[in-house]
Amino acid sequence: MRDRLWIIASLFLFVGFVTYPVWHALVAHVPSRPPSLVLPANEKQCVAPVSYMRASHMKLLLDWRQQVVREDKSKYVAFNGKVYDMSLTRTCLKCHDRQKFCVRCHDYAGVRTPYCWNCHLDPGQIKRSAR
């Protein structure tokens, strides 16, 4: 029982270590609330249900890429029967703001920004840089 002090001190140290991210966030004032995403104003429904898009939009985009580039298709029939052009620039960005939607969430989630935009164009960005 002579080691009681050591054991308790180590336990405190251990708990402090494990909960470090929480302390750090409190001290450094890192916001712990979700990012404020700008949602499309004129459209209520995305090409798939929100839950699917939130979890699997990357799968949908890869599937679109496959169909457009490899299978020579251009139209996507959504779950509700609506038909969309399979185009990142013309369909996704028609409603979504790249900076205030894609980038904000990717930054928050700490997901490396995908290199879609090295080639695909954001019409909003072209307009801004032309000014």
Per CB under 8 A, residues contacting another protein are: 65, 69-70, 72-74, 89-90, 115, 118-123, 126
Beta partners for 75? 85
| CB-nearer residue toward another protein: 97 or 108 | 97
Task: Supply the minimum distance, in Å, between the C-beta of residue 113 and another protein.
Answer: 14
| CB-nearer residue toward another protein: 16 or 124 | 124
| CB-nearer residue toward another protein: 96 or 108 | 96
b (16+ CB within 10 A) / e for 47-66: bbeeeeeeeeeeebeeebee
Task: Supply the minimum distance, in Å, between the C-beta of residue 41 and another protein.
Answer: 21
C-alpha 57: how far from its chain's center?
A: 9
Q: Tokens in use for 71?
A: 């299978």
